[in-house]
Structure 1
């Protein structure tokens, strides 16, 4: 997750957000407040759905796999907690994409947030992805409506691949969505009401988190925790 930044944010649309990111306490690993600014009523983690690598189009949810693995479906859950059910050592039959929320979850989240924000403008930003893979002098930011999300992704696909946007937020900044370029989950800061809608959406697999929740892959299952 840690990358030396080669540009500044002054004068860019990302400046307000970047200035509010960082750790509020010392501790191991990386936390939500490094991805989503503190100050929101609620925070949610949306898990990127696993897809079958055999091209069958099948998908698998984290909660079901956690149950099969005997580990809790937990806000700080790592994919490393999951037990492989492969018959022999070799490539896994299931994969989740880092840096991009799967298309079904992405569409569901965009629809849900559109009902929250109405027709106000939305910003879509590429930060570390543009730094690492694009030939740019500053973060890439596009402005439109939530309905433009897929058009924005398509317009930047040749330059940045499937990843991103890393950040999206409305004009009033009432919520922020962050998909870090090397994580398997997306994080949202929003109102308590919006969080509840995300958590109860049948398409989205999500859990509540806090600004201090770990987001990196090196977390350990809680001792004695039962699966749900």
Structure 2
């Protein structure tokens, strides 16, 4: 299937109702209030099956850089190099992510938080780099952990989410939906980027060739639910009917939780 044929560009005004709900987040995605319920899907992370190591992603980066194995093609310009000097390589991806392959197992946020004796998401916070602090106390994660990606739900969870949404729409796969991509994803600060297509093609939308991420927002024409993925967060919010939210909470392949302090 040609994704760019299945999801066609429509006028940016189609996302204006979301901007009215959340006028302060137009650059990183629009966060809708619960309508009437909401849940956060935590982006997946993985651990190396042989166990954790104290070596961090930044340690690996520094070791590789020290022996000149980064490659000249990857060497940034002088201005960028100056900005990056002293920066920590955290190990956190930005944009699309997915299961790393053999040798890795899914590591849930709950499992890691339980081991550290800390909450999954601290009260008053959103799923992001303020969470699971003992897992990256100096900023960089253990090299034996692939931490949650920032800004985009992982591929497997996106496909699972699409399946749950299909079961909760009367028109099923033919439900007409719209997807908004924020300027931090598109790089287009002049026009709102909105595409329209079928819910049945939403799983494939994850790998839209013109985008580095899943949509910042996805919703059906009747606006009965909204998916929100902020470019700066490690979690994706879904708002909609309680039956849909409870189905997401009960799904064994998704790690989901309610954050009552979020709107």
TM-score, length of structure 2 as denominator length:
0.62
Q: 2:262 aligns with which of 189, 213, 222?
A: 213
**Native 8 Å contact 2:162 2:203 kept in 1:** no
Map of 1:38-77 to 2, 5 A cutoff? 38=33, 40-52=35-47, 56-74=103-121, 76=125
SS at structure 1 position matched to 2:18: helix
Map of 1:122-133 to 2, 5 A cutoff? 122-130=177-185, 133=186
Q: 1:139 aligns with which of 176, 192, 196?
A: 192
2-structure distance, mates of 1:101, 1:203: 13
Q: 2:135 aligns with which of 76, 84, 90?
A: 84
Map of 1:139-178 to 2, 5 A cutoff? 139-155=192-208, 157=209, 159-161=210-212, 163-178=213-228
2-structure distance, mates of 1:89, 1:73: 18
SS at structure 2 position matched to 1:149: helix
Match of 1:219 in 2: none
**Native 8 Å contact 1:43 1:189 kept in 2:** yes
Question: Of the two, which has the highest radius of gyration?
Answer: 2
Q: What are the Cα deviations for residues 24-62 of structure 1, in whole angstroms up to 9, with x where unaligned?
A: xxxxxx9xxx84323611011110011347864432110
1-structure distance, mates of 2:179, 2:190: 17
**Native 8 Å contact 1:98 1:182 kept in 2:** yes
2-structure distance, mates of 1:90, 1:122: 38
Match of 1:4 in 2: none
Map of 1:87-102 to 2, 5 A cutoff? 91-93=141-143, 94=145, 95-102=147-154
Give the number of equivalent residue pairs.
Answer: 189
RMSD (Å), alpha carbons = 3.0
SS at structure 2 position matched to 1:174: coil
Match of 2:160 in 1: 108
**Native 8 Å contact 2:120 2:131 kept in 1:** no
**Larger deviation, residues 188-197 vs 73-82:** 73-82
